């Protein structure tokens, strides 16, 4: 599929996705969300994709939020539908993707932009990044999972402070509160994200998928995460990757995983 709002390509087993609406600071309009949903399904299904790098075009913004111009005339029903569809098709799909997704936050990550980064598994920020959930300034609250995922990542006190004040925080502050894993100079951002993905690429893909599912179970209200871990652990024993990993260890060589 040819996309209008995002760039995507697979290089050396990494799916690179760039949100490409630089003039609008990569704000998430419906068309962009639909394309993101499509490309995440593509990455999920393609065996050759071992990890995903998500970033925004230009040097100023990762994503400056949902596109305010699209929903300014909405009523309650339309607002609820907007949040529900977006959460299901994009944000939950990212969080539940079996391939690790690294957000390379290259500037503003505001509102839906921070929510997008929060749905990703790992976050790397450039030193100039600014992060925040400013929705209450618009008379709204975050609707793409931000109230939940920010709280899971930084705890209730900091989450309510960030949401209620609408303040942006710097990349260094974000690192301090555990909101991002790394802060690097902007010129090193993609390299740092690639460094993480290049390590992940060498590990067993099915085991990584099992780990993501098990870790995500911590936050699923209707699932016992320990039980998920037990089941996923057990399933690993039936994979070719498990045989390869243990055999390679015993033969003192590097494993080559097939993802089977
Ligand atoms: N939705 C729609 N358009 C947006 C947008 C958004 N969330 N964020 C930025 N844009 C657009 C601006 O309208 C502007 O478009 P224009 O050139 O056609 O007028 C363009 O992107 C550049 O933004 P601008 O505001 O001129 O840049 P700035 O450097 O002065 O300010 C921000 C940058 C990020 C502080 C500011 O754009 C902003 O506050 N954006 C909204 C953030 C927000 O509230 N997000 C949550 C939405 S739920």
Tell me what pLDDT residue 2 has: 82
Query: Is any atom of ligand 1 closer than 6 Å to the C-beta of 24?
Result: yes
**For the chain, what are the domain ranges?**
6-200, 205-250
CATH topology of domain 6-200: 2-enoyl-CoA Hydratase; Chain A, domain 1 (3.90.226)
Whole-number Å distance between alpha carbons of 138 and 15: 34
> How do strand 101-105 and strand 61-63 relate by DSSP bridges?
unpaired
Q: What are phi and psi of 75, to 5 degrees?
A: -105, -175
The residue to mutate among 5, 31, 58, 65, having the most atoms of ligand 1 within 8 angstroms of its beta carbon, is 65
Which whole-number Å values give the CA distances from 146 to 28, 105, 143, 150, 194, in the listed order?
Answer: 15, 16, 7, 6, 26
| CB 132 less than 6 A from any atom of ligand 1 | no
Q: Does ligand 1 lie within 6 Å of residue 115's CB atom?
A: no
CATH architecture of 205-250: Orthogonal Bundle (1.10)
Angle of CA points 10, 88, 59, to nearest 5°:
45
**Residue given tokens 């209450």 in the structure block:** 136
Distance CA(14)–CA(8), nearest Å, equals: 10
What string of pLDDT tens digits covers the 260 residues of the chain? 689 999 999 999 999 999 999 999 999 999 999 999 999 999 999 999 999 999 999 999 999 999 999 999 999 999 999 999 999 999 999 999 999 999 999 999 999 999 999 999 999 999 999 999 999 999 999 999 999 999 999 999 999 999 999 999 999 999 999 999 999 999 999 999 999 999 999 999 999 999 999 999 999 889 999 999 999 999 999 999 999 999 999 999 999 999 99
Cα 126 to Cα 20: distance, rounded to the nearest angstrom: 18
Q: Fold identical between 6-200 and 205-250?
A: no
Return all residues near 166 (Cβ < 8 A) that are at least 6 apart.
132, 133, 134, 135, 136, 137
pTM, two decimal places: 0.97
Closest residue by Cα to atom 28, ligand 1, is: 25
* Gap from CA of 47 to ligand 1 centroid (Å): 37
């Amino acid at each position: 599929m040819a996309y209008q709002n995002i760039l995507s390509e697979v290089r050396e087993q990494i799916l690179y996705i760039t949100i490409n609406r630089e003039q609008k600071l990569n704000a998430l309009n419906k068309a962009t969300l639909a394309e993101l949903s499509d490309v995440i399904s593509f990455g999920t299904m393609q065996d050759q994709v071992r990890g995903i790098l998500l970033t925004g075009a230009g040097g100023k913004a990762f994503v400056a939020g949902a596109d305010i111009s699209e929903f300014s005339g909405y009523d309650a029903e339309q607002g609820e539908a907007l949040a529900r569809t977006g959460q299901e098709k994009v944000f939950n799909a990212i969080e539940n993707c079996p391939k690790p997704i690294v957000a390379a936050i290259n500037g503003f990550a505001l509102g839906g932009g921070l929510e997008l980064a929060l749905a990703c598994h790992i976050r790397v920020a450039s030193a100039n990044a600014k992060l925040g959930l400013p929705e209450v300034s618009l008379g709204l609250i975050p609707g793409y999972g931000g109230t939940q995922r920010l709280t899971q990542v930084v705890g209730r006190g900091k989450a309510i402070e960030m949401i209620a004040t609408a303040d942006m925080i710097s990349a260094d502050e974000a690192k301090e509160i555990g909101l991002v894993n790394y802060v690097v100079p902007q010129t090193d951002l993609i390299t740092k994200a690639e460094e993480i993905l290049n390590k992940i690429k060498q590990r067993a893909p099915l085991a990584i998928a099992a780990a993501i599912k098990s870790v995500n179970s911590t936050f699923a209200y209707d699932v016992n995460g320990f039980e998920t871990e037990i089941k996923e652990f057990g399933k690993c024993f039936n994979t070719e990757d498990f045989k390869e990993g243990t055999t390679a260890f015993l033969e003192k060589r590097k494993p080559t995983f097939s993802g089977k």
